[in-house]
A and B are shown apart, each in its own frame.
Chain A
């Protein structure tokens, strides 16, 4: 998997390398998540400053359940996106997307690029829809998902609490994969 590389150009002309996350990326992934400012980490599902959590992710990668792709600038991880799948049941055709991008790479198109990559991968896996949950007061993230083909489906007021216990509205966004490649 480490050899599955793809070079991509960002809006400012800089080049990043995309490839699947592998076990050897543990240290680089720890550094990446620890470098994210707290206001971004507020919205992540796990406490990514906990080294044991990152260790567990990199040690137990199951690409059929969660396919993580990292963006590298040289040896440094500058973005992480993952496609999560449920193998059985009424949501087996739906994938969930989670993404984090180094703030220095915001407004360069990296977030949209990473989500596009997941949309393409989801189509390859035969998924029909992608699902993302975002805090409503994070308009930049909403814009990135919209550019990648997601549309807003619902807002649930005060659904979640951030790390400081503040209630936050959540927006549900869905991407119909088949319509992304329309004629």
Chain B
């Protein structure tokens, strides 16, 4: 069975449609969205409608939570806050109810942990080795038997592995197939659909196969200029349009 993981769509409908079109070309059984469906970009309504319509399993990100209650956006910087205020005004009560009901951490099929930032905390990031070690320890204590966690939030593709001796390291990212060792634990980030931050503007996603366990990072072009035009038309901060092109 193959599962597609998408994350950090951030109201970029052009990127989301391009990724779903690419996913539809493969034999995918399930699509899982690792959170932050809204925020930053200018198509929150379209993105929520599409994800709901496609029966995509979704996890709540910190921006999704903030869209339902602005008090959660108070810690956002002034640009992200502005975009969130705009999104919250655009979303209908039904969209907000959908976002509010999402869980921020979930175990799928008793085997895979899915979360947005860090397990149990959608605001925290897994950037560094010490953070990955803490996440692996969380999995070993709280979700016994779960070897693989999928997360988002950083907008950067990543694979952390923990070997049987407890040594944690990161793997080099490529778009080749990566075979997962059944003896090891993994934390995997598919990168961002709607606002990649790897100096590459293309929308990122990940295909996971379970027999044998294997992952493949993928990226796809989308109508960047249309996404930028929407941001400018909505009078959202110009930086949010510029960064889509530079992948910052």
Contacts and interface: CB of A to CB of B under 8 A. Distances in A.
Nearest to A123: B77
Contacts of B124: 181-183
A64 B119 CA distance: 35
A117 interface: yes
A17 to B, nearest CB: 11
A183 B81 contact: no
Interface in B47-89: 74-82
A178 B77 contact: no
Contact of B239 (A63, A123, A183): A63
A4 B125 contact: no
A12 interface: no
Contacts of A20: 78
Contact of B76 (A3, A120, A183): A120
Nearest to B123: A181
A19 B78 contact: yes
Contacts of B79: 4, 121, 124
B126 interface: yes
B125 A183 contact: yes
B121 interface: yes
A4 B78 CA distance: 7
A116 B79 CA distance: 14
Interface stretch (B30-38, B130-138, B165-173, B222-230): B130-138
B23 interface: no
A6 interface: yes
Interface in A42-64: 63-64
A178 B126 CA distance: 9
A59 B135 CA distance: 48
B248 interface: yes
Nearest to B40: A124
Contacts of A125: 239, 248
A99 to B, nearest CB: 15
14 contacts: A4-B82, A6-B74, A6-B82, A18-B78, A63-B239, A120-B77, A124-B79, A125-B239, A178-B125, A178-B127, A179-B128, A181-B123, A182-B131, A183-B117
> Which 5 residue pairs spanning A and B have beta carbons closest together?
A183-B118, A120-B77, A183-B124, A181-B125, A126-B248
Given A120-B80, A125-B248, A181-B125, 8 more contacts: A6-B82, A64-B239, A117-B77, A121-B79, A123-B77, A124-B77, A179-B128, A183-B125
